[in-house]
Amino acid sequence: MATIEAVLGDITTEHVDAIVNAANALMLGGGGVDGAIHAAAGPRLLEACRRVRNTTHRDGLAVGEAVATSAGNLPAQWVIHTVGPNRHRGQTDPALLASCFTRCLEVAREIGARSIAFPAVSAGVYGWDSADVARIAVDAVRKDLAAHDDADDPEAADGAIELVRFVLFSASSLADFEAALAD
């Protein structure tokens, strides 16, 4: 079974296979986590996002979906971009938020990532309460990992995700995620 943990930190410095970007639909950079990741990754990340926009996601990335790109100058090998629901736009369905986390795990498996770091997708400027994000994210990740945990099949375990780390920017968000993990 994978390790699930929460830490206070900067997701752009995480030494994991993939980090998750709380992106906007355009995938061309923005504020918050998205802006920090693009700034740290450098222009190669923007180029990779433009390639995705010019090929498979011409209309942008839908809420709850995920797609991977290279990571530019980041220590991670990949960035998995997901668009969280925006409460200010009436996107209040917890299933949409849960989908961000499960789709990222799905994409991580597709690219062979065994470790992944998530921010608090949709908390902050997208209007979701950090405690709600924590409960929904932890529940979605636990269910997804349990569904893909096949202890009787050694080959399945070879491609399994071993580490899920929630990397939080504030002590209050960290406390919310620690509380969700303790349940």
| DSSP run (H or E) holding 66 | strand 66-70
pLDDT tens, residue order, the chain (183 aa): 899 999 999 999 999 999 999 999 999 888 889 999 999 999 999 999 999 999 999 999 999 999 999 999 999 999 999 999 999 999 999 999 999 999 999 999 999 999 999 999 999 889 999 999 999 999 999 999 999 876 555 555 556 899 999 999 999 999 999 999 999
Fold category of 3-182 in CATH: Leucine Aminopeptidase, subunit E; domain 1 (3.40.220)
Phi, psi of 2 (to 5 degrees): -70, 155
The first and second tokens of residue 113, run together, are 């990532």
**pTM across the whole model:** 0.94
Look up 149 and say whether it is catalytic.
no
Q: Which of 17, 34, 144, 176 is catalytic?
A: 34
Q: Please choose, from the candidates 40, 61, 63, 62, the residue with its C-alpha nearest in 3D space to the C-alpha of residue 49.
A: 61
CA atoms within 13 A on the CB side of 51: 10
